[in-house]
Chain A
């Protein structure tokens, strides 16, 4: 008998006028010791499926049809009381955000012991002992000490391990992991994935693994189910899926993932168009780098004492140097907290640096006075990571695009600006009537296009792209990356591309600089870095990247 059988499950969200079917008629099974990956983009209904199984749906949603059987018992038929016992002991869940899933005012030990004692009648001492064992099982470095620590004292990866420990506390039969590694860095992601695999075989659990990342799926899953707009469009074994995806949507998903090979294909397609551009740009490159950063240091003071004196410094950026040539893309790669975003902001003079110089077209930006800096701002722009917080929700798209032009006096008359806005919207592929709409009326990918148009409005020579695609779905990410490449070919801008995603790097960067703890540990042409990494950290980083 299968561990989990989902048969014809439909879940709807009640709206004001009509109900919205978010999961429609899906069926699958999970066996003991097996991993089923539920794959899909945001809004495809994969999390709703998981919440339906655990009966943790939000109040507005309900299961409208179908049955869910766990070890032969229909979960839809049992009372809420029984269900509470099921959760934890039979079904456990791990969520995406390790930062929000733990209670910040309770120690790690309290939170694990709570779950242990909920499902077994043991004394506090025994529960504590079991908690320590669990922490050791999930690979925390010092379980004896960690058990009395609070969540904020642990890193993101450690917190996710604690979450897994809590999930395992009652030895569940089925573990539902909802994007457990999405918020983590690649090296930590690799560790957590390994851990999950180990624990699964150790406890002989069924694992329902929900993710959007096909590379992760290939490494972990036994079988794969692809969801699209609430429906299960494809279901098969790992090998069969990656060998020949049957459904058109699955193929589109796979094709959307940026890789070095695809870049070559794209290059070939556009050869004719690019040849002229490239020669032209190389001519410029000979003149010298458009941006050269020398020995840049950004330190944030840690203040303490009565007069808030700086007692110590966080060395966010420590002695960073690199060159960027006109029309080229330099990727700044590193894990979260390595200081790559700080570098970007320091270049734009949004943050003050302590030492070093930022030479833009041979002018040191730090020595410019306010007026000269304002003039230079025309040439330097930024595209941010989060398309939701980078656009003012109370401004019309037209006003957002116009702001830079007005502030920097790029175009004098309102009519010229209007014409330019129309051109910009056309360039980034948005309808002309977007001008009178608010940002919230657009999807994440469209918003990122607005952000790009905003940066383009002042005709910059260099754009700092700070993880512009990391908040987007793969298929949208592909569109935005292609847009950036096309715009570069058309307008000849340089990109400083800040990212943590190696696949994106290989797709569009000319050169790569790898950052680690505020320093650049290795830099060079993309092929060289990706294929023959010299520094041990680069090697570790590349090894951790799951590949297709």
Chain B
């Protein structure tokens, strides 16, 4: 075996979540009344396109969560030595970008460094000039003349490759689809082209074409160039941005998982039982809200750092420490951010508990717990979905703010927050170093935008009243 798999805590949580999601999908598929709204989601163009893009992000995060220690040397016949470094599957796929370090900044697709250096000329004299990069466009002998042509030809080749595979895959999918529905492949193709299929296959195919093109072209170009340039210490920005996907998704998802049970349970209890239960819960969240969140987070993160430096032996690698810090950050972010949703849900439950269907359930002697589960919670789920998505974007952004005062994720961990934070210092440079910021922005923006679009469609589909355009 050439590697030793290792599981970080967040990896395990992430895998558990993925298994949970898959189980949920299977459960929904078996029940017609549950699967109806979800097929509604898939039938809408916005819904299926944004789901695809979210899945793409999710897949990147998932691949990036498969960690291992690479093998370094063979000690004996049966014993291997493993590096203490932790790599992920994504690092393997993006192999050259990870290790190709330049000295310092370089612009996207550049062949020369961004800043001048003292160099020895051909005749041995000293001169200040832009040095060639170690890796970016290193295969070109005459970068000025060849670069444009090389980039275009690599892109074209990659595009052709991507489109070829895309066409093959889609022909196969459509063939399967036509077999299942007893349709001839030609009529199906015609229907897809005219967008006359039940599911928006044309939009899905086009989205996958775009994703495939972007992936293959950027991977191919990445072999020879720094697609989004390099940062201060010469790391590939594109690689950083892709690695940050996992951090962003984890912070959004794990924090939400911590927030939701607290907010839903306490909000529903406070609104439903009122009286002293309400007083206690209100007291808790008012107190929590009156402490500045940044203070709480800072205290918690510092506490963890003290603990980690006191128990240095418990951690095998830097990555493990960074990982624990990420988990802790999600935890503390979750604990500080449930209050808003809790308050909303409490108010909504106030309204719901006066509804006549709840009184009807009481007249049946249905237990309070069941009334909460069956009559109250499903009726405020739309609020939960909306606020979860808004919070998700907010959390990704909060991470950036926290990194600014050094209480965010570990500086060694790739995250959009760290990228923005580092780029912030370079905004004043002339000419401006814009690529770190833009790369982080583009990746973050795409994720947040499609998460919002998706939530809109899901909310409409899950609300039985909106489906038919009533009310």
- Interface residue ranges, A against B (CB under 8 Å): 15-16, 345, 348, 350, 373-374, 377, 380-382, 384-386, 389-396, 400, 403-404, 407-408, 436, 438-441, 451, 454, 458
B32 at the interface (CB under 8 A from A): yes
**Knowing A345-B359, A382-B359, A438-B464 touch, does A395 contact B364 (C-beta < 8 A)?**
no
Report yes or no: B469 in contact with A16, Cβ–Cβ below 8 A: yes
Which B residues between 432 and 471 are near A, CB-CB below 8 angstroms? Answer: 464-465, 468-470
Contacts of B365 in A (CB 8 A): 373-374, 377, 407-408
Chain B interface residue bracket vs A: 20 to 34
Give, as a whole number of angstroms, the nearest-CB distance from A105 to chain B. Answer: 21
Report yes or no: A440 in contact with B363, Cβ–Cβ below 8 A: no
Chain B interface mostly: helix
Report yes or no: B379 in contact with A350, Cβ–Cβ below 8 A: no
Report yes or no: B468 in contact with A384, Cβ–Cβ below 8 A: no
Report yes or no: A377 in contact with B357, Cβ–Cβ below 8 A: no
Give, as a whole number of angstroms, the nearest-CB distance from A59 to chain B. Answer: 15
Identify 5 new A-B residue pairs, CB closer than 8 A, beyond the known A350-B362, A440-B468.
A377-B363, A393-B464, A396-B33, A400-B357, A407-B366
Bound state CA distance, A403 and B359, in angstroms? 13
Bound state CA distance, A385 and B357, in angstroms? 11
* CB-based closest 4 A-B pairs: A390-B356, A374-B365, A404-B364, A394-B378
**Knowing A389-B356, A390-B356 touch, does A380 contact B363 (C-beta < 8 A)?**
yes
Bound state CA distance, A386 and B354, in angstroms? 13
Report yes or no: A440 in contact with B470, Cβ–Cβ below 8 A: yes
B361 at the interface (CB under 8 A from A): yes
Total of A-B residue pairs, C-beta within 8 Å: 74
27 sample A-B contacts, Cβ–Cβ < 8 Å, listed by A number: A348-B363, A350-B363, A373-B365, A381-B363, A382-B360, A384-B356, A386-B356, A390-B355, A390-B356, A390-B360, A392-B357, A392-B374, A392-B379, A393-B379, A393-B464, A393-B465, A394-B379, A394-B464, A395-B378, A396-B33, A403-B364, A403-B366, A403-B374, A407-B367, A436-B33, A439-B464, A440-B465
Contacts of B364 in A (CB 8 A): 377, 403-404, 407-408, 458
Contacts of B370 in A (CB 8 A): 407
Contacts of A350 in B (CB 8 A): 359, 362-363
B98 at the interface (CB under 8 A from A): no
B132 at the interface (CB under 8 A from A): no
Binary contact track B350-384/A, C-beta < 8 Å → 1, others 0: 00000111011111111100100011001101000
Q: Using CB atoms, name the residue of chain A closest to B366.
A: A407
Contacts of B356 in A (CB 8 A): 384-386, 389-390
Report yes or no: B359 in contact with A392, Cβ–Cβ below 8 A: no
Bound state CA distance, A393 and B467, in angstroms? 12
Q: Using CB atoms, name the residue of chain A closest to B464.
A: A438
Of the candidates B32, B363, B378, B381, the one whose C-beta lies within 8 Å of that of A382 is B363
Contacts of A380 in B (CB 8 A): 363
Contacts of B374 in A (CB 8 A): 392, 395, 403
Give, as a whole number of angstroms, the nearest-CB distance from B271 to chain A. Answer: 16
Bound state CA distance, A392 and B381, in angstroms? 13
Report yes or no: A454 in contact with B359, Cβ–Cβ below 8 A: no
Contacts of B468 in A (CB 8 A): 440-441
**Knowing A373-B365, A384-B360, A408-B364 touch, does A389 contact B470 (C-beta < 8 A)?**
no
Give, as a whole number of angstroms, the nearest-CB distance from B13 to chain A. Answer: 30
Report yes or no: A392 in contact with B375, Cβ–Cβ below 8 A: yes
Give, as a whole number of angstroms, the nearest-CB distance from A463 to chain B. Answer: 10
Give, as a whole number of angstroms, the nearest-CB distance from B379 to chain A. Answer: 6
Report yes or no: B379 in contact with A403, Cβ–Cβ below 8 A: no
Contacts of A404 in B (CB 8 A): 364, 366
Q: Using CB atoms, name the residue of chain B closest to A16.
A: B469
